[in-house]
Chains A and B, each alone.
Chain A
C-alpha cells in the first residue's frame, strides 16, 4: 500500500540533539515535551540539550502578519546561535509550525544569500551572537520515528485491543507545515506521510486511510485567532471527523501542537453546538500526541503524561490497551494536590448541564 513513502527519506542524526520547544503545547498537552525528554534520555540513552533562554520562534505571529520576515529570521538565527554555542549541530523542534519556519529560513537563506547575511548582521548587532547553520533539522516526531523499532523492543503495551487481540485502528494527522511546504522535509512526502504511520505500524496498530486524511485541521493561525472566523476553522475539523467516523477509530494521533489541540477541543465544541460526537459508545475520539502514544507504549503512567488535560477522555483507550491507572489520581497535580475537575461535557457522554 504505502510504497511511495520510501521515495522521501531524510537523514536523521542518531544522537546529540539540540531541542527547542513549542509555545502552546505546554498548556494543552503539558506532559508531552517532558515525556519526549524522558524517553530520549532515560529509555533510549540519547543526549538532548535544552537551553532555558531559547524563545518562541514567533511563527504564530509571523503567520498572522504581526512579526515581519526580518524579525523572525533574526529569532531563528538566535536559536541556531544557542545551538552553536552549546556545541551541537542537530537541531530538533517540538512544533510543526516552528519546524516549517526553520526550514523556510534555511531555504530562503540558500535561495537568497543576502537574507542570511542580513540575519547574521541583525543578530550580531542585537546580541553579539554568531551561529553555524545546523547540520540537520528535524521535527521531534522524526526523532521518535527514527527510534521506533528500539521503542517497540522496549514496549510494555502494544497498540492492540487486549480484549479482542486486534490492532487498534488509528487515525494519524500530520500538521500541514510538516511536509506541505517542503515535501522533501517529511518522511513519506506530503501525500502519504509516514512519520506517524510508521510508529503506529511498528507498535502494533492499524493506520486508517480515510478520504479526508490529508485535509488541514483548520488551525490556520489568523482564522482561529479571530473569534468571528472560527466557524471555518472548526468546519475543517468537522469535515475530517465525519470522514473518519465510519472507520471507528480508537484514537487520533497528531504531530502538530495546533492540530492535536483542535482535533481534541473542537470535538467538544461540535458536541456542544450540534450534539454530534464521532467516537464509539457516544464518546468523542481520544486525541494523542505521538509522545503520549510512545509513552503509553513504553509503560508511562497516563497521568504522568498529562493526559488528564485532554478534552476528550482517554480512559476508554487506556482500557482497550489494558493499561492500569488510578482513576482517583487523575486530577491530582504533581505535588499530589487536587487541581480541579472540568465540567461534564457531551463529548464525554456525561450528563450534560446547560450552562
Chain B
C-alpha cells in the first residue's frame, strides 16, 4: 500500500443541493415563527447551559434549518430547559419549544 501521509479533505460547505430539508421543513411547518429569528443571539447570551458548555442554541437551530442535522440532537440535550431564552426572545419565538421539537424530530424524544 502507498503511504500517503494525508487524506483528501471532505468539503465543509453546507451543500443545499445535497442536504435533505425534509425534517427542517417539518419543524418549520409546526413552528413557522422560528424562521423569523433575526439571529440577535440573546437566547445564547442568556443560556444557562451555553455559558458553561459549547452549546449554542442559535447556531444549532440555524444549522437544522439548513438541513444540517448531524449532532443537533446531542447538542439540544445540553439544554437545561430553564426557559430564560424564551423570555428574552424579541421575536417571541417559543425557543424552549424549539429545543423539544428538534429533539422530537431528530431523536428518540
Whether B4 pairs with A269 at a CB distance below 8 angstroms is yes
Please report the number of residue pairs spanning A and B whose Cβ atoms sit closer than 8 angstroms: 32
Whether B11 pairs with A235 at a CB distance below 8 angstroms is yes
Q: Is the interface of A mostly helix, strand, loop or mixed?
A: helix
**Smallest CB gap from A224: residue in B:** B6
Whether B8 pairs with A234 at a CB distance below 8 angstroms is yes
**B1 contacts the other chain (Cβ, under 8 Å)?**
yes
CB contacts under 8 Å to B, within A234-293, are: 234-235, 238-239, 269-270, 272-274
Complex Cα distance, B1 from A354, in Å, reads 6
Whether A355 pairs with B4 at a CB distance below 8 angstroms is no
Whether B6 pairs with A355 at a CB distance below 8 angstroms is no
Whether B5 pairs with A227 at a CB distance below 8 angstroms is yes
Given A235-B11, A239-B11, A230–B2 Cβ distance below 8 Å?
A: no
Query: A227, A270, A354: which contacts B8 (Cβ < 8 A)?
Result: A270
Q: Within the complex, what minimum Cβ distance (angstroms) separates B56 from chain A?
A: 25
**A232 contacts the other chain (Cβ, under 8 Å)?**
yes
**B9 contacts the other chain (Cβ, under 8 Å)?**
yes
Q: Within the complex, what minimum Cβ distance (angstroms) separates A245 from chain B?
A: 16
**A231 contacts the other chain (Cβ, under 8 Å)?**
yes
Tell me the A residues contacting B by CB distance below 8 Å: 227-232, 234-235, 238-239, 269-270, 272-274, 354-355
Could you jot down 23 A-B contacts, CB within 8 Å? A227-B5, A227-B6, A228-B5, A228-B6, A230-B5, A230-B6, A231-B6, A231-B7, A231-B9, A232-B9, A234-B6, A234-B8, A234-B9, A235-B8, A235-B9, A235-B10, A235-B11, A238-B8, A239-B11, A269-B4, A273-B4, A273-B8, A274-B8
